[in-house]
Amino acid sequence: MNTVVTENGVVVAPGQSTLVQGYEVVIGFETHAQLSTQSKIFSRAPTAFGAEPNTQACAVDLALPGTLPVMNKGAVERAIELGLALGSHIAPRSIFARKNYFYPDLPKGYQISQFEIPVVQGGSVEFYLGNEKKSVRLVRAHLEEDAGKSLHEDFVGQTGIDLNRAGTPLLEIVTEPDMRSTAEAVAYARELHKIVTWIGICDGNMQEGSFRCDANVSVRKPGEPLGTRREIKNLNSFKFMQQAIDYEIRWQIEELGDGRAIQQATVLFNPDTGETRAMRSKEDAADYRYFPDPDLPPLVIAPQWVQQVRAGMTELPRVMAARFCADYGLSDYDATALTQSREIASYFEAASKLCGQPKLVGNWIMGEVSRRLNQDGIEITDAPVKPETLAWLVSRIHDGTISNNNAKVAFDHLWKGVNVAVASLTAPSPTLSAAGTAGKQVDDLIESLGLKQMNDAGALEKIVDAVLAANPKNVGEYRGGNTRALNALVGQIMKGSQGKANPQQVNELLRQKLEA
C-alpha cells in the first residue's frame, strides 16, 4: 500500500482513515466567508476594507436608539448561490436570531445570526486528496453580521473601537466532523475557498479576513465515541491551518498519552511559536440567550427566487468537470484538476477548442504550465504562454512535427518570451488559422531551434543500423528475452538523431529489425 508520511509523522493511507500513533483524528470546520456585497447585511453603509476607523459605520451599525435592521437581498442571493453550488437545501423559510452578549465592538449587545433554521441546509464539498475522492458533508450555512474591531495596541490603557466591520455580511459554513487528517482538512478548506471565489460570493482574501476558518479538532481510538474537541479559531492562511492542526493533534495525543483528559476549549494558533493556546474554556462559555429577532420577519425564499439566482449563476466547478469528462473525454481526476479555478478552466477550454486535443492540452496544463506558474508564483491569467500558443504547440506535437520532449524546449523559450524571426507557415488545423501570430511564433521557434522531428525514414534507418552495429551486446540481450534492452537502443538512436527522431517511429523500426 502506498503511504505518505507528513512532517509530523502522520501516516496517510489512501482508502482508509488515518491513524496517528493509534489515534483517529476527527476534524470539522466552521468557515466565515465575508460576502462580496457593496453594502452591509442590515444597513446601507459600505463594506470596503481598510477605511479610516468608524467612517463606514452608519446609525444602524452604531446601534443608535431607534435604528432597525433591513435585510440586504444581495447577501441572501449569495447564500442561495453557495447552497446551489454545494447541492444544499435552500430553506424556503429561515429565521434570524439574536445572539446576546456584551462586548464593546458589538454595538447592539447582540449579533444577528441564524440559529435554529439556517438558510442553507446540508450539501457537500467534494474534492480529491491525492487520487482519492473525498466528500465532506455540510451541516448548514447561515447568514450573520460581523462585529467591529477592538484596537488594543493603538491606545495606552484604553481600547479603541472601530465599527467599520460591524454589520459586514458573513456566511458561516459548518461541516460535519468528516475529515480524518490535516491534509484532508486543508484540502477541504482549499476546495471551499475555490468554490466561494469561483461563484464570486466572496473575494477569498484570507489576510483581510474575508475567509476565516475555525477547525474543531479531536482524537479518539478507532471505534470509540468522539473525543472532546478543541476549536482553533481564525486560521487565516492554509499554511497556518496545516501547522495549527498538526500541532493540535500532536498536543492532544500527548495529553491523552500522559493520562490527562482533553478539556473543551477555544484555542488560538500562534504562528511565531507554532503552538495553539487556550483562549477560554467551556466553563466560561456564555449563555447567548438566542431567540428569534423580532425586528426581522422570517426570510422567505420563493422557488422563483432560487430559479432566478440559478439562472444568473456561472457554471459550477462540479458541473463543468462533468462536462469536461463528457465533452473532452477527460478522466474525473483530470477534469477536477482542470476546474481548480475558473481561470484554469477557461485557459483549458480555449486551448482545447483551438487545437482539438483536450487530453494533450490537459496534460500540458497540469504538467509544464502548472510547474512554471508555481515556479514564478503567478496566476494562469498572467502566464506568458497564452492558450492559443499552447494550442499551436500541442497541434505540432499531435501532427508529429515535434516530439513531446522537444516541445518542452520550445515551451521554455516561449515562456521566457524568446522572439524568433517570422517565416511562412501553414496552420496545423483549420481552427488554428485564427491564431496567426501565435502560430507563426511557435513554428518559427521550432524551425530556428531545429527541434523538428526527423520524419525521413531513410535517414532514420541509417542511424538505426549504425546503432545496432555498434551495440551487439544490447541486441543480444533483447533477442535473449530482455525487453528492457530496447530502451538503451532507443536512447542511442534518439541521441544519434539529436532528439529529432520520432520515438514511436524509432520503436517500430527497431522491433522490425530486431525481430526480423
Partner 1 sequence: MTQTSTDLHDLTVAQLATLLRQRKVSAVEAARHFLTRATAYKHLGAFLGVSEDVTLAQASAADARLATGATGALLGVPLAHKDIFVTRDFVSTAGSKMLDGYRSPFDATVVSRLAEAGAVTLGKLNCDEFAMGSANENSAFGPVKNPWDSSRTPGGSSGGSAAAVAARLTPAATGTDTGGSIRQPAAFCGITGIKPTYGRASRYGMVAFASSLDQAGPLARTAEDCAILLGAMCGPDPDRDSTSLDVPTEDFSLKLGDSIDGLRIGIPAEFFGEGLADDVRASVNAALKQYELLGAKLVPISLPRTELSIPVYYIIAPAEASSNLSRFDGVKFGHRAAQYTNLTDMYLQTRAEGFGDEVKRRIMIGTYVLSHGYYDAYYLQAQKIRRMIADDFQQAFTQCDVIAGPVAPTVAWQLGGHGNDPLADYLADIFTLPASLAGLPGMSLPVGFGAGNMPVGLQLIGNHLTEARLLNVAHRFQQATDWHIARPQGV
Contact residues: partner 1, CB under 8 A? 59, 62-71, 98, 100, 102, 104, 107-110, 161, 287, 289-291, 293-297
Question: What angle separates helix 457-470 from helix 503-515, to the nearest 10 degrees?
Answer: 60
In one-letter notation, the amino acid at residue 304 is: Q
Q: Rounded to the nearest whole angstrom, what is the least distance from the CB of residue 289 to partner 1 in the complex?
A: 4
Shortest gap between Cβ of 110 and partner 1 (angstroms)? 5
- Burial of residue 429 (number of CB atoms within 10 Å: 0-12, 13-18, 19+): middle
Of 427, 426, 390, residue with least CA distance to 411: 390
Sign of CA dihedral 69, 72, 76, 82: negative
Hey, what amino acid is at 275? Answer: E
Query: Which residue lies nearer to partner 1 by CB, 64 or 459?
Result: 64
User: 134 and 126 in contact (C-beta within 8 Å)?
Assistant: yes
Closest approach of Cβ 32 to partner 1, in Å?
22
Closer to partner 1 by Cβ: residue 1 or 68 = 68
Cβ at position 268, least distance to partner 1 in Å: 20
Cβ closest to partner 1, residue 114 vs residue 276: 114
The H or E element spanning position 151 is: strand 149-151
In angstroms, give the least distance from the CB of 146 to partner 1: 17
Spatial contact of 45 and 72, defined as CB atoms under 8 Å apart: no
With 0-12 / 13-18 / 19 or more C-beta atoms within 10 angstroms meaning exposed / middle / buried, residue 53 is middle
DSSP 62-86: TT-TT------HHHHHHHHHHHHHT
CB of 261 to partner 1, least distance (A): 24
Nearer to partner 1, 69 or 362 (CB): 69
- Minimum CB distance to partner 1 smaller for 60 or for 402: 60
- Give dist(CA 205, CA 444) in Å, integer: 42
- Adjacent-strand bridge partners of 19: 24
* Whole-angstrom distance, CA of residue 277 vs CA of residue 304: 48
Residue 38 CB, nearest approach to partner 1 (Å): 15
Task: Residue 99: name the closest of 145, 67, 42 by CA.
Answer: 145
Among residues 107 and 169, whose Cβ is nearest to partner 1? 107
Residue in the block written with cell 476546474 = 339
Cβ of residue 155: shortest distance to partner 1, in angstroms? 14
Measured from the CB of residue 287, what is the shortest distance to partner 1 in angstroms?
5
Judged by CB, which is closer to partner 1: 100, or 228?
Answer: 100
Cβ-based nearer residue to partner 1, 30 or 295: 295
Question: If we measure between CA atoms, which residue out of 191, 226, 277 comes closest to residue 25?
Answer: 226
Question: How near is the Cβ of 44 to partner 1 at its closest, in Å?
Answer: 8
Three cell numbers, residue 327 = 465533452
Task: Provide the b/e sequence for 242-253 (b: ≥16 CB within 10 Å).
Answer: bbbbbbbbbbbb
Provide the angle, in degrees to the nearest 10, between the axes of the packed helices 472-479 and 503-515: 70
| CA nearest neighbour of 362 among 341, 326, 390 | 390
The nearest distance, CB 109 to partner 1, in angstroms, is 2
Kindly state the smallest distance separating residue 294's Cβ from partner 1, in Å. 4
Cβ proximity to partner 1, 161 vs 202, nearer residue? 161
Lookup: cell for 37: 456585497
Nearer to partner 1, 301 or 493 (CB): 301
Nearer to partner 1, 58 or 425 (CB): 58
Phi, psi of 139 (to 5 degrees): -85, -50
Q: In this structure, what C-alpha cell is assigned to residue 511? A: 522491433
CB atoms within 10 A of CB 114: 26
CA-based torsion, 357, 318, 214, 180: positive or negative? negative
C-beta closer to partner 1: residue 50 or 66:
66
Give one word for 68, left, alpha or beta, with left for phi > 0 and alpha for psi -120 to 50.
Answer: beta
- Comparison of 107 and 358: residue with beta carbon closer to partner 1: 107
CA angle 483, 484, 490 (to 5 degrees): 100
Q: How far is the CB of 58 from partner 1 (least distance, A)?
A: 10
